[in-house]
Structure 1
Amino acid sequence: MRYRAAIVGAGAIATAHAEALRKHADRISLVAVADLVPARAQAFAETWGIKSVYSDLSELLGLGNVDLVQLCTPPSTHAPLARQCLLAGVNVLMEKPPTLSLNEIDAISDISDRVATVFQHRFGTGAVRLRKLMESGELGRPLLATCHTLWFRDDAYYQVPWRGRWETEGGGPTMGHGIHQFDLLLSILGPWERVTAIAARRSRPVETEDVSMALVEFADGTVASVVNSVVSPRQTSTLRFDFEHATVEVEHLYGYSDQDWTITPAPAYEDLALAFPRTSTEKSSHADQLAAILDALDAGEPLPVTLPDTRLTMEFIAALYASAATGKPVRRGEIGPDHPFAARMNGTGITWQSYASTTPSNGR
């Protein structure tokens, strides 16, 4: 079956979605685009050869000729737009962050499970290879990990009205930048158990944090550090996993290939040096995840990344913010539906006393 897709929101990230669809043109076609700014939608349509252009999602859905809607709109719109699509019986792929809160994730789950979140780095060849090696037991137990998203976004970046605001972006680099890397971390190491964190606004003209750091304990005893930043001139995204028998690392920026992965065996395990061949130059991308989504549609299975998987990552974010605000560790499951950090990632109101202050207040 050849599926039909529509992109909603014709901003910068929509290009990555269009490129992914083109790579799978034998299985899915991009038939429509919608954007509140008609000129932007029309320009995008002309670039990608899209015949149907809309300024309203309701009109697009009313025609009943799409199987998958890909939401590329600002974060605060994801939940209401996803709800609209699901009630119309249409599958949804949401850009990150998928929603502004845990409660919004749960509200979507109550409607349908035909939703996936864009966490494309889970599907690259290196991550797939690492999971297989772990399942085989060749690496031994995971012991320690580090996860750093050190990016640079200048003040001009935050001139876009919805960026850097709790009400519209839901958080800072923890929510919108580092989420890709620590989602990959969580997908490798499994359920996290406890988070101890700090967050600060060091430089950017935002309501949210511009840096955060967390110490994480996992169910199997593995410990990890997670750092998220938008104030780092030398940009990098790095993950390091120290297993009993080897260290596995990846360093990249916005997508990794086999060339970006390395493995360092422990003494007596030198054969593991061949476990990460550097054969593919393809970077992890939306196309990798789209292939898995199309396979799921063919099989009638939940779309990857599922809402339960997404919720585990979103709960980690809520726990990080809650720990940073209260100065106390937060355990998985502690943030119930009535908890302040379930409704908003800044709980009762994380603020900073002045532009350059790094002392958060929980607003009480």
Structure 2
Amino acid sequence: MRRAAIVGTGAIAAAHAESLRVMGERVELVAVVDVDADRASAFAAEWGVPRVHLTATALLEAEELDVVHVCTPPRHHVPVALDCLAANVNVLVEKPPALSLSEIDTLIAAERASTGRVATVFQHRFGPAAVRLRRLVSEGVFGRSFVAKCDTLWYRGDAYFDMPWRGTWESEGGGPTMGHGIHQFDLLLSVLGPWQEIRAVAVRQARDVQTEDVSMALVTFADGTVASVINSVLSPRETSQLRFDFERATVEVEHLYGYTDAHWTVTPAPGHDEIVTRWREEPSGIVSGHRCQLAAFLDALDSGETPPVTLADTRNTMEFIAALYASAFTGTVVKAGQIGPDSPFHATMEGIGAPWVNTR
């Protein structure tokens, strides 16, 4: 049985604890960490965890671990992951995995020197419908990809940002582009492959924060697909939507925080009704979520493979985010590979500074 620990016992930690419990005898949650001792103890009591530590350092000194689940506020993700890699422990880190491309590159370098591996929580990649979609795309069932859209239209009121680490570049790394839409467009990227260039805008419409509360992008992919991406925390009718228009069918999903097959529709082009039959060959009622990704993570460890989502995969998504901000803040088209160490958007997503910075 593998041994796991959770660092950070805030809201998302419960999803990790539940996923670990569902895995049964494959993995045991042996310890939790939080700087708030009372919160850590309450979490441990709720989930039947035998030991509590106040720091990741203390955890790694005291426990023999196979994997650490990093569920802290975003600015602590990389420091904790680096400590784990130094101890040769695998890491499953919540989104956003880092605050910048520079931090991702630091993790990549540290991983090369460690027997531990880092995987990012992008759980929507692992729902059965998304796995099926990628397979059918790779088999050519849908034909060429033409058009796509990716909308994360959520609502977060002023009270949501009362927590001091939210809505700041230093602590959260960005607004809904970094913290909310990232799941949907990561899934978009996993289906459509390499992106080529981005034209974007980002605005601060209503929330009293440092970061954007809305961003929009037009994206061209290497295969010629064009896509729109919208990220918002100002949308009272909340939805998470993806649409792919292929040569032989339109594939769509609309959900909020997790999907089943019931959230997906496939509309065939005239003369291609057989595609619907192919889609329905493997029905599933499983909800996309941490459980699906954790199972894939453990399967990889058991087989000696690198757990998904790798840092190389993660870097592609983080580069997309950096390019979106760079395009929005400079008013230029940004191409894949353009943001190197000499770019201000490599060290921080804020880059040269948001256009509204002097209007607060």
SS at match of 1:26: helix
Which digits, 9 at most, give the CA deviation of each residue in 1:79-126, with x for residues without a partner? Answer: 111101100111001100000000000001101160000000001011
SS at match of 1:254: coil
1:197 is matched with 200
Q: CA deviation at 1:301?
A: 1.5
1:342 is matched with 346
SS at match of 2:189: helix
Aligned amino acid, residue 108 of structure 1: L
Aligned amino acid, residue 349 of structure 1: G
1:301 is matched with 305
1:272 is matched with 275
- The answer (yes or no) to whether the contact 1:208–1:351 under 8 Å persists in 2 is no
- The answer (yes or no) to whether the contact 2:329–2:355 under 8 Å persists in 1 is no
- The answer (yes or no) to whether the contact 1:261–1:276 under 8 Å persists in 2 is no
- The answer (yes or no) to whether the contact 2:102–2:346 under 8 Å persists in 1 is yes
SS at match of 2:218: strand
- The answer (yes or no) to whether the contact 1:71–1:92 under 8 Å persists in 2 is yes
**C-alpha distance in 2 between matches for 1:309 and 1:148:** 21
**C-alpha distance in 2 between matches for 1:191 and 1:62:** 41
Which digits, 9 at most, give the CA deviation of each residue in 1:215-273, with x for residues without a partner? Answer: 00001111100000000000000000000000000000000000001000000101112
Q: CA deviation at 1:338?
A: 1.8
- The answer (yes or no) to whether the contact 2:258–2:289 under 8 Å persists in 1 is yes
1:9 is matched with 8
What TM-score, normalized by structure 1, do the two folds share?
0.96
Match of 2:174 among 171, 193, 200: 171
Unaligned runs of 5+ in 1: 356-364
**C-alpha distance in 1 between matches for 2:124 and 2:2:** 23
Match of 1:287 among 272, 284, 291: 291
1:74 is matched with 73
Aligned amino acid, residue 339 of structure 2: I
SS at match of 1:116: strand
**C-alpha distance in 1 between matches for 2:194 and 2:137:** 15
Number of corresponding residues = 354
- The answer (yes or no) to whether the contact 1:10–1:41 under 8 Å persists in 2 is yes
1:243 is matched with 246
Aligned amino acid, residue 249 of structure 1: E
Indicate whether 1:150 and 2:153 are aligned: yes
1:333 is matched with 337
**C-alpha distance in 2 between matches for 1:167 and 1:209:** 14
**C-alpha distance in 2 between matches for 1:73 and 1:107:** 19
Q: CA deviation at 1:281?
A: 2.3
- The answer (yes or no) to whether the contact 1:178–1:228 under 8 Å persists in 2 is yes
**C-alpha distance in 2 between matches for 1:311 and 1:320:** 14
SS at match of 1:112: helix
Unaligned runs of 5+ in 2: none
2:48 is matched with 49
SS at match of 1:235: strand
1:100 is matched with 99
**C-alpha distance in 1 between matches for 2:111 and 2:342:** 22
SS at match of 2:58: helix
Spell out the pairing of 1:105-144 with structure 2 (5 A cutoff).
105-112=104-111, 114-144=117-147
SS at match of 1:275: helix
- The answer (yes or no) to whether the contact 1:170–1:345 under 8 Å persists in 2 is yes
SS at match of 1:103: helix
**C-alpha distance in 1 between matches for 2:265 and 2:103:** 38
Q: CA deviation at 1:280?
A: 2.4
Q: CA deviation at 1:279?
A: 3.4
- The answer (yes or no) to whether the contact 1:258–1:276 under 8 Å persists in 2 is no
SS at match of 1:282: coil
**C-alpha distance in 1 between matches for 2:158 and 2:70:** 26
RMSD of aligned residue pairs (Cα, Å)? 1.0
- The answer (yes or no) to whether the contact 1:263–1:275 under 8 Å persists in 2 is no
SS at match of 2:309: coil
SS at match of 2:172: coil
**C-alpha distance in 2 between matches for 1:326 and 1:85:** 37
**C-alpha distance in 2 between matches for 1:34 and 1:224:** 41
**C-alpha distance in 2 between matches for 1:348 and 1:325:** 7
SS at match of 1:167: helix
Tell me which protein shows more helix as a share of its residues.
2
**C-alpha distance in 2 between matches for 1:186 and 1:268:** 28
SS at match of 1:197: strand
What TM-score, normalized by structure 2, do the two folds share?
0.97
Indicate whether 1:312 and 2:316 are aligned: yes
**C-alpha distance in 1 between matches for 2:25 and 2:138:** 33
Which digits, 9 at most, give the CA deviation of each residue in 1:15-45, with x for residues without a partner? Answer: 0000110110221111100000000000000
Q: CA deviation at 1:351?
A: 4.2
- The answer (yes or no) to whether the contact 1:93–1:117 under 8 Å persists in 2 is yes
